[in-house]
Chain A
Amino acid sequence: MPRRPSRATRHRLAADAALLVTAAAFAVPLAWLVLSSLDTGATLRVRLPDAPGVANFAAVLTDEITFTPMLNSLLLCGGATSLTMVCAALAAYPLSRFRARFSRPYLLTVLFSTCLPVTALMVPVYGLFVRVDLIDTMYGTALFLATAQLPFAIWLLKNFMDGVPRALEEAAWTDGASWAQTLLRIVLPLMGPGFGVVTVYTFIMMWGNFFVPFMLLLSPEQLPASVSIFTFFGNYQGIAFGELAAFSLLYSTPVLLLYLLISRRLGGGFALGGAVKG
């Protein structure tokens, strides 16, 4: 007589089945992206390409469509992300470690401002940038992008930092270490995964931002890929789905790579929860 599977096994099988169904549902649109990019006759439906090939990629891999905008994007978003992370880490430290009457209002203000649509700010920001001579400069645009992402980054990093026990720092302080040394040598290494997740998140948000660079950069040779993908979409919607898919895939690659890199090195995005356990 065959043994009935144990309760734990049955639970596991049920969970596996439920998860696979969900994963399949999530995977369908992704499958479209991959399959269509290899299919010159792609349509709106998921289908296997008749003759898979890289013609779509060849068509979009030009200086004008892909390489220059992608390079600009890397510089713009890379620079802005580093700036955001440096400022946010610095700001999160005292907010997490010291008590003051203003720190809660400060954090709340910062948090509320995350739901302000950035598009609403663009007219004043354009005016400001003209006045301070930052218009049509990559670093000016990066400064604004960095600021726009700061609130969320500060908030998340502060919460991650709360999760790092103080005992180690106190030991370092007694040794006469400065706050900067403690932050850099002790706190940040301990919250590596959280730091990584916030970095990825910040980078993703900047990478996809269309309106900010479109308004603040005038010279076409400085425009990032988020702008070129918008024009690409605006025009091709309904025609060259294969090329669109190929370009979308190329455009998403840096973000995916960054995520993989960081989750490999730091133990995965599953650490995100540390930020909000309170």
Chain B
Amino acid sequence: MRPTAPLILLTAALLAAGTLTACGSGSESDRDTVKVAFVKDTNGKVTLRDDYVRLVARQFERAHPGKKVRLIPVQAAENDYYTKIQQMMRSSKTAPDLVYEDTFLINSDIRAGLLRPLDGYLRTWDQWGQFEPSAKDAAKGPDGHTYGVPDGTDTRGLWFNKKIFRRAGLPADWRPRTWDEVLDAARTVKRKVPGVIPLNVFTGKSAGEAAVMQGFEMLLYGTGQQLHDPVSGKWVTGGKGFRDSLAFLDTVYREHLGPEVSDALSPSIQTRVAAELLPEEKLAIDLDGSWLGQQWQPTGGRPWPAWSTTLGQAPFPTRHGAPPGAVSLAGGWTWSVPSRARQPELAWQLIQTFQSRPNALEWCVRGAQIAVRGDVAADPRYLSSVPGIGFFTGLVKVSRYRPALPDYPKVSAAIGEAMEAVTAGEATPEKAAAEYDGQLASLTGGHVVARP
């Protein structure tokens, strides 16, 4: 017998490895290349951000001959995106030069040393003065340095269906002044227009930060309480405002004013609200974000031409109508430079291209973003871009930012659990608040303070 057998096995293994090597593209660490990592919508049909980033990248390449922009879109749910960019940023081999950071997470990444302060660049940048002071603060670390340039923000309020309102005998220029007026409107809808979900408030763990921000914090900040006390620098345990906010949720779901509990807690609820319940006019009132309209534009994921005449907007009221009478929360994303980036200079130049006035305007118009630059916010093209944009831009002055602290994501997860327990009927608001207190102490290392 000839000793061919080992040869065959070896060849098979080599062939397998060879095919794969041939396909793995050589990772370039070219000195003229700037790598940009950003999140891509999980809906492959929504290419707003990709298109915009590509447009700016091409502009940059034209303006800087010889330089190349390499795009790394990460198509994933937000949490998986965070995990992935954090891993990438940990090593200088895979760290992108420019990264798209959620203000939700940016402070955690600052604390972990993953980002680079931009103060040196910002000091000499003539455009920085155009940015709203509150937006500048969103990317400021506890050390007082700024780690990102925001490219827009978002605000939150009530969307309501005017047609359903007419059938329920409610006004088309609805302006609730207290929580009770919101609930009363929902009860009226439930009575007069059967078959329609009266009020959606995001809740639970699956909806993630959408539930905590659009649902819980919109309520809490309207009670006069806060999550974090800036004076003592400590997290506030679940006081009366906290319990009242959970009680509001309890009312919505116990009185069946909201979606079916199982639907409300399912991971798909956000998509269903935007792509199904609102366009199909099965939902009367929705506590949601300024970006919804983007989905219904001809280029969005679910075109709906009639939305601008069907839907009205109203600010979300404070608990008993205490001044300023309305409350909103602001989020948004920033462009940041990882500390292990190889081309920070190029990255900074790319940020400048992104945030030139015309490009910033372009992004706000395309992405239904709320402008953070004063000159963009006043631009007629911006103000006429999407119906309702003026309304949501107006909410910026009553908007609060989330506590810009590294522990925030963990606290947010604990709030989501409290909401889920109340919504599912597993705990009373009091019990859920008590459990939150216990978690809060262990999550923040005991940095808690009680407020009545």
Contact = CB atoms under 8 A, between A and B. Distances in A.
Q: Do A and B come from the same complex? A: yes
Interface of A: 64-65, 72, 75-76, 78-80, 82-83, 86-87, 90, 123, 126-127, 130, 133, 135-140, 142, 175-178, 180-181, 183-185, 214-215, 218-223, 227-228, 230-232, 234-239
A228 B42 CA distance: 9
A183 B91 contact: no
A123 B19 CA distance: 27
Given A75-B20, A136-B94, A231 B1 contact: no
A230 B73 CA distance: 16
Contact of B13 (A83, A127, A137, A219): A83
A231 B268 contact: no
Interface of B: 1, 3-6, 8-9, 12-13, 15-17, 19-21, 23-25, 27, 40-44, 72-77, 80, 83-84, 87-88, 90-91, 93-94, 266-269, 271-272, 275-276, 302
Contact of A180 (B3, B73, B84, B269): B3
B50 to A, nearest CB: 10
Contacts of B80: 214
Given A183-B5, A218-B88, A235 B16 contact: no
Given A64-B44, A86-B9, A135-B93, 18 more contacts: A72-B23, A80-B16, A82-B13, A82-B16, A90-B9, A130-B93, A135-B27, A137-B24, A138-B20, A142-B16, A175-B1, A176-B1, A180-B3, A181-B3, A185-B5, A214-B84, A234-B76, A238-B269
Contact of B42 (A83, A142, A215, A234): A234
Contact of A181 (B5, B84, B269): B5
A221 B23 CA distance: 10
Main secondary structure of the interface of A (DSSP, over half): helix
A224 B15 CA distance: 20
Contacts of A230: 76
The listed residue with most B CB atoms (<10 A of its CB), out of A72, A75, A133, A227, is: A75
Contact of B24 (A90, A136, A227, A228): A136
A126 B17 CA distance: 20
Given A139-B24, A222-B24, A239 B275 contact: yes
The listed residue with most B CB atoms (<10 A of its CB), out of A82, A133, A228, is: A82
A65 B42 CA distance: 11
A223 B386 CA distance: 35
Contact of A76 (B20, B90, B275): B20
The listed residue with most B CB atoms (<10 A of its CB), out of A72, A82, A139, is: A139
